[in-house]
Amino acid sequence: MNILILGSGGREYVFTEKIAASKDCQKLFVAPGNAGTATIAKNVNINPTDFKGIAEFSLKNNIDMIVVGPEAPLVAGIRDYFEVDSDLKNIQIIGPGKAGAELEGSKEFAKSFMQRHNIPTAAYATFEKHTLSEGISYLQTLNPPYVLKADGLAGGKGVVICENLQTAEQALTEMLQDEKFGEASKKVVIEEFLSGIELSVFVLTDGEHFKILPAAKDYKRIGEGDTGLNTGGMGAVSPVKFADDNFMEKVESKIIKPTIDGLKKDKIDYQGFIFIGLMNVGGEPYVIEYNVRMGDPETQVVLPRLKSDLLSIFKSMKDKKLGQEAFEISHDTAATIVLVAGGYPEAYEKGKVIKGLKDVENAKVFHAGTAQKDEEVVTAGGRVLAITGMGDNLEIALKNAYAGANKVCWDDIYYRKDIGQDLMALDA
């Protein structure tokens, strides 16, 4: 099979490595990819939302399958674009169509979906510019902290948590009246604050059957002790100890099954990943958000634990035969440390020479924001590399990951030193 992967981050690097390892993989392309994917596959300079460019490339290169990494092409309807074209409709797309991608593309859609299908989530109400005053009255009925969410995609910045009523009223006004997040904040979801421990659960579905991938915990803040600005993710671990069999059974029966059944009832033929952000509130799971793709950097700890052939799994989804596929998961723990450019998630420099990549032992180096410049690999993004360590337990996995991270350097490198420490403390 000839496969095209869309995206350029650490998540897509892992997909590239996994798919390249399959016996069924003939030609493998990544658009646009990074310096790492170029060593495994062929990078092509096409933007993942340039559907016309992707379609032309796919026909010219006899592509059989497109694996969509990020959400933007899914929310913009890449699957629908291919399905309605007689020349393109046989190319299998891993990722949902526009209707299913609304689970991530619109918070209001996701909340009403959960309400309709009795899926546990925080109580909420939605407001627009002309209902701003009702929104302010609604805030006054809640207890702090206040959770405000821009309805649309806002590059991971659309969720604002306010400690007091005054800042919440101000934030709501800025989002609705001043259109702080542009189109994305034309509607704002206000919801009840959930207090607990977060984790991410990943499901792959062909629309009929589903398989649950290992759960992971992501570290979103830039600073140690979960302080400072939100980022795309500074590290992750899998499995997550507190997501034991009892908790995961609740997740499956109260959240995953109703989600898959809900999609069917709503006549949404969903084929792809569902990434469910959960809060464990006193042992009960509540959905914080749906994403319609894998997580980054969660993929860097989830897929290294999957022993089965990922391409064979993807292929089976075309004929809705996912139920017949083996999903063998390693008992090892995986931990990943994301190495970022100094300044990220705000302004940062690019083009710094990365040293020590070949010195990393007992850990996997997953490229994200990297580029090849002459003979050298240089930084080309905020999140530059993810280093994944594995082991019999979290302590060993972290030791391997940090030993790897310590070997790599560039001018202004930064990474958190406390990934996994909260989970180690739970064990102690």
Residues that bind ligand GLY (CB under 6 A): 218, 232-233, 291, 295-296, 298
Binding range to ligand AMP, per CB under 6 A, among 87-95, 190-198, 327-335, 336-344: 190-198
x/- site string to ligand AMP, residues 252 to 281, per CB under 6 A?
-------------------------x----
Integer-rounded Cα radius of gyration of the chain: 21
Phi first, then psi: give them for residue 2, nearest 5 degrees: -105, 130
* Nearest Cα residue to 410 out of 361, 350, 362: 350
Contact between 159 and ligand AMP by CB under 6 A: the answer reads: yes
**Strand 376-379 to 370-373 pairing:** antiparallel
Nearer to ligand GLY, 300 or 400 (CB): 300
From the list ligand AMP, ligand GLY, none, which binds 70 (C-beta under 5 to 8 Å, kind-based)? none
Residue 286 three-state SS: strand
Binding range to ligand AMP, per CB under 6 A, among 10-18, 189-197, 209-217, 420-428: 189-197
From the list ligand AMP, ligand GLY, none, which binds 17 (C-beta under 5 to 8 Å, kind-based)? none
From the list ligand GLY, ligand AMP, none, which binds 296 (C-beta under 5 to 8 Å, kind-based)? ligand GLY
Q: Measure the CA–CA gap between 340 and 419, rounded to whole angstroms.
A: 14
Torsion angle (degrees, nearest 10) of CA 71, 77, 81, 82: 40
Which tokens in the block code for residue 235?
């590290």
User: How far apart are CB 80 and ligand AMP at their closest, in Å?
Assistant: 25
Helix (H) or strand (E) holding 227: strand 227-230
**Cβ neighbours around 145 below 10 Å, total:** 13
Nearer to ligand AMP, 92 or 300 (CB): 300
Contact between 20 and ligand AMP by CB under 6 A: the answer reads: no
> Can you count the helices (H) and strands (E) in the chain?
14, 23
User: How far apart are CB 195 and ligand AMP at their closest, in Å?
Assistant: 7
Q: Measure the CA–CA gap between 40 and 10, rounded to whole angstroms.
A: 14
Give the type of residue at 209: H
Nearer to ligand GLY, 157 or 211 (CB): 157
* Nearest Cα residue to 160 out of 178, 181, 136: 181
Binding range to ligand AMP, per CB under 6 A, among 186-194, 297-305, 307-315, 400-408: 186-194
* Nearest Cα residue to 396 out of 237, 198, 222: 237
User: How far apart are CB 271 and ligand AMP at their closest, in Å?
Assistant: 23
Binds ligand AMP (CB under 6 A): choice among 288, 334, 384, 405:
288
Nearer to ligand AMP, 155 or 351 (CB): 155
Binds ligand AMP (CB under 6 A): choice among 74, 78, 103, 122:
122
Give the type of residue at 185: S
Contact between 284 and ligand AMP by CB under 6 A: the answer reads: no
From the list ligand AMP, ligand GLY, none, which binds 298 (C-beta under 5 to 8 Å, kind-based)? ligand GLY
From the list ligand AMP, ligand GLY, none, which binds 33 (C-beta under 5 to 8 Å, kind-based)? none
Cβ-Cβ contacts under 8 Å for 86 (sequence gap 6 or more): none
N- to C-terminal Cα separation, the chain: 48
User: How far apart are CB 198 and ligand AMP at their closest, in Å?
Assistant: 6
Contact between 54 and ligand AMP by CB under 6 A: the answer reads: no
64 touches 92 (CB < 8 A) = yes
